Structure 1
Amino acid sequence: MKKIIPIALLAAFILFLNPLSGMGASGEKATDLQKEELNKLTKEEKKEGWKLLFNGVSLKGWKTFNGGKVDGWKVIDGVLNNSGKGSDHGGDIITKKKYDNFELYLEWNISPLSNSGIFIRVQEDIVNTIYKTAPEYQLSDDIGITRKREKYQFTAACYAMYETTGAEINPPGDWNSSQIVVNGPHVEHWLNGEKVVEYELWSRDWKERKAKSKWKDEPHYGMAEKGHVGLQDHGGLTRFRNIKIREL
């Protein structure tokens, strides 16, 4: 009697001989699986109130700061890419919805010598540049940019206001994670799972810093109690994924 080898056992044997069989030489299926896991919420996250700000397909829910239709930004393989060109202003995007108290999470990957930023409580139609109204969580290639900079110009700092403590950034090409907690006047910046900045809006310390900073003649800077979330298209290519928010 001829012995029949079960199909599952035969398939396992073939896979043992060639782990990449059925995947192609570069393991495309694994890559596809990774793409499918991007920009998704778990059941637990949904129960906790998390909402996606980017669905991995389109820029629905976003618009240009002080403008309308988004220009220059692209979605590639489930990842949001800014134009890679940038300017002082003009290409920054913001959520259509405004938020007051929230926790924001996202992952980002910056190209060499580039910089970008994340803005909170953005106000429109009162100034020509996004950073004149909204505190900025700085994103920067801290490894490749070697020119002398102030400490508050490095990644995860509140730009031009508060420097970080214990911030450790992954090199360009690797992904980093950032969280921003905004609850009333209280703001926290997290980088790769560590809290690196904490401050109180409108406190005596904050007012003193603002009076000595580049924002001293910007009356709208940091004053809003509710506003848009913004992403900067400033200098060089930065990519974003898994952008989600939970209102507090």
Structure 2
Amino acid sequence: MKKILISACILLAVTQITKAQKGFKPLFDGKTTTGWHTYNKTGVGSAWQVQDGALHLDLTTKGADGGGDLVTDKEYGNFHLKYDWKVAPKANSGLIFYVHEDQKYHATYSTGLEMQVIDNDGHPDGKFPKHRAGDLYDLVKSSSEPVKPVGEWNKAEIISKNGKLTLILNGVTVVQTTLWDENWKGIVAASKFATWKDWGIFKTGKIALQDHGDEVWYKNISIKEL
């Protein structure tokens, strides 16, 4: 009887995990950079290495082709994104979304919103409000800071549906806001993006992993279109 109960519990746990992941598709297969390319280019910069099931911005392999921000080949509108990240000491990066890829824009952040990825206390940018891990970069401050110590993996989620945006860090909802309404226009007007033409206006776009010149890792990247 005890063995039957244990087996039943294991089956239930597996079923719950399967249901929780239903509808999610991997954006990174853990082995290759298939489905990604450097922004405004066709290939992937040499600094982005697949190591131990993670995409690693490895500065020791940064050749003449550099690194650059990685973007998905596909665009997304309403979505639920999950990913794990960790940074080296004093590092800065970000997960940027609603990125419009066009040669007239020089970077992913020219158009896209960012969930901050950073060593809060080691990188100088962490001293600024709304520039810390989990923040909607320069726009909305996290309600709390459930970030793990530097070098440990963090689990992040971004849910965007019909303008309702939720950011989750390590199971804690840290940002909730509404995009593109009058209140949002006020938030943008009070940010560094106030005068940036075409910033944050696109309701579909690519997802990007930022090369900020520092060592960072991403893995378990999956998305569910809503």
- TM above 0.5, yes or no, is yes
Aligned to 1:3: none
Aligned to 1:206: 184
Which consecutive unaligned segments of at least 5 residues does structure 2 have? 1-16
Matched residue of 1:131: which SS? helix
Aligned to 1:15: none
Aligned to 1:116: 93
Q: Distance in 1 between matches of 2:95 and 2:125?
A: 22
Matched residue of 1:210: which SS? helix
Match of 2:100, as an amino acid? Answer: Q
* Bigger Cα displacement from structure 2, 145-154 vs 95-104: 145-154
Q: Which has the larger radius of gyration?
A: 1
Match of 2:42, as an amino acid? Answer: G
Aligned to 1:55: 29
Q: Distance in 2 between matches of 1:163 and 1:70?
A: 32
Is 1:197 the counterpart of 2:175 in the alignment?
Answer: yes
Matched residue of 1:151: which SS? coil
Q: Conserved in 1, the CA contact under 8 Å of 2:95 and 2:208?
A: yes
Q: Distance in 2 between matches of 1:145 and 1:69?
A: 29
Q: Distance in 2 between matches of 1:192 and 1:143?
A: 18
Aligned to 2:14: none
Q: In structure 1, which of residues 221, 226, 231 is the aligned counterpart of residue 199 of structure 2?
A: 221
Q: What TM-score comes out, normalization by structure 2 length? A: 0.84
* Pairwise CA distance, 1:225: 1.0
Moved over 6 A (4+): none
Distance 1:200 1:180, change over 3 A: same
* Pairwise CA distance, 1:227: 0.7
Q: Distance in 1 between matches of 2:196 and 2:108?
A: 12
Q: Conserved in 2, the CA contact under 8 Å of 1:107 and 1:240?
A: yes
Q: Conserved in 1, the CA contact under 8 Å of 2:48 and 2:67?
A: no
Q: Conserved in 2, the CA contact under 8 Å of 1:84 and 1:233?
A: no
Aligned to 2:49: 74
Calculate the aligned-residue CA RMSD, in Å.
Answer: 1.9
Provide the identity percentage: 33
